Amino acid sequence: MFLSSKNDPELYDNFKTIGLKNVVKNNDALIKINLSGMYQTNHPRTDMALLKKVVAYIYNNGGTCAITEGSSGCLTQSLVASGFGDILKKYDIKIINVDLLNEFEKIDSRGEYHYIPKCFLKYPVRIAVPAASKRAGMLYSNNIKLFFGAVPRKMYQLDNAGAPAIVPRPKLHQNLHNSVASLFLAVKNYSDFHFFINGGLAYNENAGEFILTDTFVGNNALELDLHIFQTFFNDCEYPEYLNI
């Protein structure tokens, strides 16, 4: 199920309809974002205006939250530099940089081992707020691929340490489509995410940067990924991991 909105009142109505309002009351929510580094042209990150709305909604409805991402030691600094500092001052938000954690659950998924932070299970409500993009030479990235940043870089390095790493987690790129799918399924089986919120700046390699026409709220990552791809990226290479 997913719902779309064109303004804030509709967005908040959708939060209520899909069940977010009820579950955040007196609960801790974990929000996985896309902010492994700062925004660069044609490389969108989680929309900070949308993230602010989600966080404020949680606290205004009696909940608290933590924000998580793999950010090589600088997640708080990246949030502040992205314009999120006022919200960090206003609310008591826990920041969890998965690249600095040491406790993980080893999950066997589709023939691969994945290392999911044990602390994810401490949060009864789990929300994903990614950024949609398809860059040249890269896979379509949105809800499912977001979880590449949910696991620690140190556990996904190649065995031959002398080889240069051109990506943060090179082991995931050896069988890329299978790894995207297997990692998402490992997270789903261990610490399933309940809500997926898509909106703000996106990037299509054929059309450039653009703003999604609506804000979408769903409870099924695959369903929402398929809709966003078919609506905004249907002139791009179809990602095989969605079939997996």
The enclosing domain of 211 has a CATH number of: 3.40.50.11440
Q: How many CB atoms lie within 10 A of CB 15?
A: 23
Tell me the pLDDT band of 162, cut-offs 50, 70 and 90.
low
- Quote the pLDDT of residue 40: 80
Count of the separate structural domains present in the chain: 1
- Quote the pLDDT of residue 59: 98
pLDDT tens-digit profile of 92-117? 999 999 999 999 999 999 999 999 99
Cα 232 to Cα 244: distance, rounded to the nearest angstrom: 21
Handedness of CA 182, 133, 131, 13 (dihedral sign): negative
pLDDT at residue 64 greater than cutoff 80: yes
What's the predicted TM-score (pTM) here?
0.95
User: Which range marks the domain in which residue 141 is found?
Assistant: 2-243
- Quote the pLDDT of residue 178: 96
Q: How many CB atoms lie within 10 A of CB 38?
A: 12
pLDDT at residue 46 greater than cutoff 60: yes
Average pLDDT over the chain, rounded to an integer: 94
Could you tell me which residues are beta bridge partners of residue 94? 66
Start-to-end Cα distance in the chain? 20
pLDDT at residue 224 greater than cutoff 90: yes
